[in-house]
Each structure stands twice: as structure tokens, then as C-alpha cells.
Amino acid sequence: MTLSNTSSLPTTPEERLFQPVRLGRYTLPYRIVMAPLTRSRAHQPGNTPSHLNALYYAQRASAALIVSEATQVSMQGQGYAWTPGIHSREQIDGWRNVTNTVHEAGGLIFMQLWHVGRISHPALQPDNMLPVAPSAIKPSGEAFIENKNGKGEMVPFVTPRALQIEEIPYIVRQYVRGAKNALISGFDGVEIHSANGYLLDQFINSHTNRRNDEYGGSVENRARLLLEIVDAAIEIWGADRVGVRLSPLGTFNDISDDNPEATFGYIAEKLNDYPLAYLHVINPAAAALESGATPDPAALRMLKLIREKFHGTLILAGGFDRETAEAWLQQDKADLIAFGRKFLANPDLPERFRTRAHLNAADQTTFYGGSAEGYTDYTSLAQEL
């Protein structure tokens, strides 16, 4: 499949941002990806995508690839109020409306499959049960729940329940169901969310995984659940429509690892066993890149290691503007660059980059929850004429 949503975006030899690239079975016309963005605007009750969500994604269909907001594979997998799921018939129908609308606008969209693990709260869990995790270690920070008045509220995290080894196949089945439902919903592929301190990242990192069975201890064991889920997703989609997201050196949601280069170097190399559509990495140098500071040498070593170990298509996300994205592509540090907040506020971001137009500023007060304000009311260049 070759997308045709970029007829107004000519390729120029000197700009890699606007050169085509292969991603699994797809040929993308340029290298500007819309990163997954949690917006907490699923319709209630039921955490179902609505017509408003379909409009939001269709407005951004000029992205070479859209990766959907993180979408919980089960009720157990939910960690924030008003986030969408992919485990009910109503959710499938809602997402089918989203994918149809995106495809009509010429776009390509993958679903990000998500289980938050310990980054949840009994208020979000079925029957007010404890969240689950590889080990019973309480994270620092607070959960975002809906209170009795229907408003968003921050409450302290609780100590999760450690998964029994007999429950691990059930976790895999949750991802299998999510992957199958994403296919039914009309998505073009799936991304397995293994980043940002959520369940699969909790298994990967030594700080949150203190298990002494076949899912803990060595890096091979800590990566086992991720690889089992990759295998399962490939059975449904084929490897060339499956991506994986990682956050090496990430600290979000109280995560860390004793030897991150060994851990993520192993995973990046192991993923070569599967001809995946891509590996999507959250840039550990994002904060420095965004502020113009010199990146930490450890972050640069990690990025170099991932690039050397993983031989497939690499997407980097975090901290980029037009100039730094182009520079990193020119230096072959990545094959595509994903943008989050810039796409949030600029639905026609590729056109703005192509013409070097001004960018809308993102309104942080409307990031999570609400309706159209700060969601579908950002203007395109055409609307500003």
C-alpha cells in the first residue's frame, strides 16, 4: 500500500523528512509520524471512541503514520480516567468509525495496545481490585481517576498485587484479544506499548521486576513476556504490521534498570528475530534536545546502541522540532521521527513543516479530558487564510 495523502508535499533531495520510506508492508511518502497521545476523551460509559475522536484523528490524517492513543486491552489494563479500550463490542464499533474516517482522509493508523500494570488504582479496576504488576512494589506518584462527582481527581497510587505465574498466559490472551479486535476495527497495524513504566516495561526493568521465576532475574527472563506478546500479535497481523515501543533510560512512572544498556541492547537485538514493521523508541535525550542543552552521554550511547543492534525501521520520538528532526535523519540516527504535542496543536503538521509555516502552541490545560476545546478546534493553515 502506498499512501497518496502527500501530493502537495514534494520530495527534495536535501530534505530527508520528505523522502519516502518503507515501514513493514507500507511505503510511506515521508517520515513524519504522529506519536500516541493520551487525551482522556473516550465516550462514557464504556470508554468507547466517539465521533469527536474520529474527527480528531481524521484532522491529522496527513501524518505518514498515526499511532493511536494508548488503548487498554482489558478493564484490568486501564490506568487513567476516560481512556479508550479495545475489549468490548461497543469499543470495536467506535474504533471502526475512527479508522474508516482516517482512511477516507487518506491516512494510515496503527493501534497502540496497552496494559498499565501497577500504574492504576482500584477505582479504575473491575470490582475495585488491586492493580497487577510483576512484583508488589508501590510506585511513587498519583493516579488520575474519575471521582464520585464525575470529575477528574489525582489520588495516590497503591501497592499492586504481584501476578502469579499461572496468570501470565491470561495477560498474553488480553493482548491477543486486543490485537484481534484492532484487526476487526480496521486498523492498519498494531504497536505493542512496552514503554513509559507500564506493565511490559515493569517486567523489563529490574527496579520493578523482583521475580525469581522464568519472568524475572536475567534480561532474557524479564523480556520474555514482551516477546511472547510479539509472537502472539504476529500470529494475528503478520510481523510486517506489528511495531514495538520502548523507552530506554526512561524514568516516567518510577521506572529504572540496573544495567539499561545490557537490557535494551538485548531486546533491540532480539527483535531482529522478527521482521517487524518498526521499533519505536522514546528518545532518552528528549529533554536536552528540546531545551537546546547538550544531551547526557549515556543517552547518546543508548541511542547509538539501539541503532546498531536493531536492523529494522527505527522511529524516534521526543523533543524534536523541524530542524533537529531533519538533522537526526541526515545523520542516520533514525528512519522516521514521531511528533506528539506538535501534532496535537497542528493537525496539518507536515504541510506546516514543508512550507516552514508558524506552529500553533499547545494548550496544556486541555491535554486531558474535556470535549472539542483544545482537541478538534486547532486550526489548519487552510482555515487561517
Question: Which residues does the annotation mark as catalytic?
Answer: 198
Closest CA to 378 of 160, 369, 367: 367
Residue 145's DSSP bridge partners are 153
In the chain, which ranges are continuous DSSP H helix? 51-59, 89-104, 168-184, 199-204, 219-222, 224-237, 260-270, 286-291, 297-309, 322-330, 341-345, 349-355, 381-384
Rounded alpha-carbon distances, angstroms, from residue 209 to 103, 190, 217, 248, 331: 40, 26, 8, 16, 36
Rounded alpha-carbon distances, angstroms, from residue 38 to 73, 134, 368: 15, 24, 7
CA atoms within 13 A on the CB side of 116: 31
CA distance 159 to 363: 33
Rounded alpha-carbon distances, angstroms, from residue 203 to 33, 109, 139, 181, 199: 27, 27, 14, 25, 6
Phi and psi at residue 60, to the nearest 5°: -110, 20
- The answer to whether the CB of 311 falls within 8 A of the CB of 277 is no
In 47-167, which ranges are continuous DSSP H helix? 51-59, 89-104
Category of 109 on φ-ψ map: left (φ > 0), alpha (ψ -120 to 50) or beta: beta
Rounded alpha-carbon distances, angstroms, from residue 121 to 45, 48, 190, 230, 367: 18, 20, 26, 27, 21
Let me know the angle formed at the C-alpha of 94 by 89 and 100, rounded to the nearest 5 degrees. Answer: 120
